[in-house]
Amino acid sequence: MKSHVTGARTGFRRAVFPALVVTGLMAATAAAAPAQAGPAAVTHAAAASAPAGTRLWSAQFHGLGLFSQPQAMAASPDGSAVFVTGFTTVRSNHDRYATVGYNALTGAKLWRSIFHRGPALRNSIGRDVVVSPDSAKVFVTGSTPGGIGTVAYDAATGAKLWVVVTPAGVAGSDLAVSPDGARLYVTGFGPGEQSYVTLAYSATSGALLWTSTFAGQLGFGDHTPQIVASPDGSAVFVRGDLGIPGRFATIRYSAATGARLWARLFKGLGDSVSEAMVVSPDSSTVFVTGDTFGRASPAYATVAYAAATGAQRWARYDHGPAEALVHSIAVKPDGTAVFITGEIAASERSGYSTVAHDAATGDRLWQQRYFGPGGAGGFGSFAGVSPDGSAVYVTGTTSTGHFGTLGYDSATGAQLWSAVYRPAQCASALGAVNPTTPEIMVTGTCGAPVNGQNYVTVAYSG
């Protein structure tokens, strides 16, 4: 499972960026996970038996300078590790990829890697991280002075296996790996940020297999694109936006050749901005969510497409009491429901709004709002589902600068638990669900600028 930051844009209380959780392979990876033994098994049992919302561990990563910010997080399919990537500022705003791995069961640091490619006084920023299906490799992509920079690591040791920097694009934003682990897919901005570029690499060697570009209407790519591989391995889907006018753009490519199979635009109620995408576990449906601005205030907009043809199956809109901006989407492991979360504002306070829709019809199943401890407000940024599908997890940042994380019953929306982590001045909370045990991990940036801002990662029992 992974969650990531995809970019900033203007909007109310826009301190948190959109995050994504892909759950389509959850059932398969959990079933294939090797049996745990020894201390790890004890910790698995402890996580399973602890009351939901119990903090299991926390860890900090200080990076190289006064500022380090995570951009993405992914749990290994075997449940043994979790990886966080982003950037650390060396000096005078010279940034480097910063990737750290933790034992998912104890929080012990496994390794860290600082990466830069290009002129020493220019930035390299890690944007996304994904783990191979066999949990043996970790892949990171982002932007470097030379173009899209992608790195493969040994998941156990952090040793670099290969590095590819391609001038075919200027900034990598998202990663996906094929279900068989043979291919790695990267998407990002093309040259001049006037298109989206998608690349396929050999996951073993880093050899380039194919490249595809999408300029779309008016030839202008706006917000950072996202890529998802279908669980059946046949296709990859890229979603992004067209800057003028505002439209969701969703594209299906052949996973084998990179040939474009279809592309669809979605207007919503007016100008619209996509934020997150997920594919159903049976690979039949693609769900895309974002914001639409056709009325006095924005609303969540979610659209479902037939994966094979791109035919629209349904579209639904969820309005807040005043403003509503969506950040994340997740699908239930059995494919029956989709969950979206984000932020709402009303009566001078803000909070999380989480909505469940029937995956087949789009009918709303339930909606819940959370305004933080004592109604303090905040904004949700992550939605994930427990391995057995019984719970939905949401995390974000409260208006008091803390991580606020909670669980809902996936069938009814009843709140199961909530937990607030209270170090100083935290923001940009992201999350990942452990695929093999009831555990949710949350990461973000904490600390005062004068004393240094670091990655902080916290794990809770689910």
Task: Average the pLDDT over 34-57 and give the result.
Answer: 66
Confidence at residue 38, expressed as pLDDT on a 0 to 100 scale: 37
Give first-to-last CA distance, the chain, whole Å: 15
Asked whether the beta carbons of 129 and 84 are under 8 A apart, the reply is yes
Confidence at residue 204, expressed as pLDDT on a 0 to 100 scale: 98
CA dihedral 393, 341, 128, 227 (to 10 degrees): 120
Please state the φ and ψ torsions of residue 247, each to the nearest 5 degrees.
Answer: -140, 145
Is pLDDT of 73 > 80? yes
**DSSP code of 160?**
E
Is pLDDT of 13 > 50? no
**Which pLDDT tens digit goes with each residue over 435-457?**
999 899 999 988 876 667 899 99
Confidence at residue 20, expressed as pLDDT on a 0 to 100 scale: 30
Question: Cα 321 vs. chain centroid, distance in angstroms?
Answer: 26
DSSP alpha helices (H): ranges in 188-292? none
Residue ranges of domains in the chain: 2-461
Confidence at residue 21, expressed as pLDDT on a 0 to 100 scale: 31
Is pLDDT of 41 > 80? no
Please state, for a pLDDT cut of 90, what percent of the chain lies above it: 56
Confidence at residue 228, expressed as pLDDT on a 0 to 100 scale: 98
Please state, for a pLDDT cut of 70, what percent of the chain lies above it: 83
Q: Count the Cβ atoms, other than its own, within 10 Å of residue 63.
A: 24
Which residues pair with residue 232 across a beta bridge?
none
**Confidence grade of residue 15 (pLDDT, cut at 50, 70, 90):** very low
Question: Cα 26 vs. chain centroid, distance in angstroms?
Answer: 15
CA 452, 456, 459 angle in degrees (round to 5)? 165
Confidence at residue 215, expressed as pLDDT on a 0 to 100 scale: 82
**Which pLDDT tens digit goes with each residue over 190-246?**
877 778 899 999 999 999 999 999 986 544 445 689 999 999 999 999 998 876 668
Confidence at residue 142, expressed as pLDDT on a 0 to 100 scale: 94
**Which pLDDT tens digit goes with each residue over 317-371?**
998 777 788 889 999 999 999 999 998 887 777 888 999 999 999 999 999 988 8
Task: Average the pLDDT over 65-88 and give the result.
Answer: 93
- Higher pLDDT: 94 or 141? It is 141
**Which pLDDT tens digit goes with each residue over 252-311?**
999 999 999 999 999 888 888 899 999 999 999 999 999 988 766 788 999 999 999 999
Half-sphere exposure of residue 72: CA atoms within 13 angstroms, side-chain side: 31
CATH code for the domain defined by 2-461: 2.130.10.10
Rounded Cα distance between 371 and 356, Å, is: 18
**Confidence grade of residue 174 (pLDDT, cut at 50, 70, 90):** very high
Look at residues 388, 395, 430 and name the one whose alpha carbon lies nearest to residue 410. 388
Is pLDDT of 132 > 90? yes
Task: Average the pLDDT over 155-166 and give the result.
Answer: 96
Is pLDDT of 17 > 70? no
The DSSP H or E segment spanning 274 is: strand 272-279
- Higher pLDDT: 184 or 320? It is 184
Confidence at residue 243, expressed as pLDDT on a 0 to 100 scale: 66
Is pLDDT of 34 > 50? no
Residue entry with tokens 């960026």: 17
**Confidence grade of residue 10 (pLDDT, cut at 50, 70, 90):** very low
Confidence at residue 89, expressed as pLDDT on a 0 to 100 scale: 87
- Higher pLDDT: 61 or 190? It is 61
Confidence at residue 374, expressed as pLDDT on a 0 to 100 scale: 59
Is pLDDT of 247 > 60? yes
- Higher pLDDT: 172 or 425? It is 172
Reported pTM: 0.89
Mean pLDDT of the chain: 84
Is pLDDT of 19 > 70? no
Please state the φ and ψ torsions of residue 217, each to the nearest 5 degrees.
Answer: -60, 130
Task: Average the pLDDT over 67-82 and give the result.
Answer: 95
- String of DSSP letters for 253-293: EETTT--EEEEEEE-TTSSEEEEEEEE-TTS-EEEEEEEE-
Confidence at residue 37, expressed as pLDDT on a 0 to 100 scale: 35
Asked whether the beta carbons of 444 and 85 are under 8 A apart, the reply is no
Is pLDDT of 373 > 50? yes
Strand order in the sheet with 196-202: 171-177, 183-189, 196-202, 208-214
Cα radius of gyration (the chain): 20
**Confidence grade of residue 11 (pLDDT, cut at 50, 70, 90):** very low
Cα–Cα distances (Å) from 391 to 334, 404, 419, 438, 443, in that order, read 13, 16, 15, 10, 20
Confidence at residue 250, expressed as pLDDT on a 0 to 100 scale: 94
Task: Average the pLDDT over 12-25 and give the result.
Answer: 29
The letter for the amino acid at 172 is G
Rounded Cα distance between 392 and 72, Å, is: 20
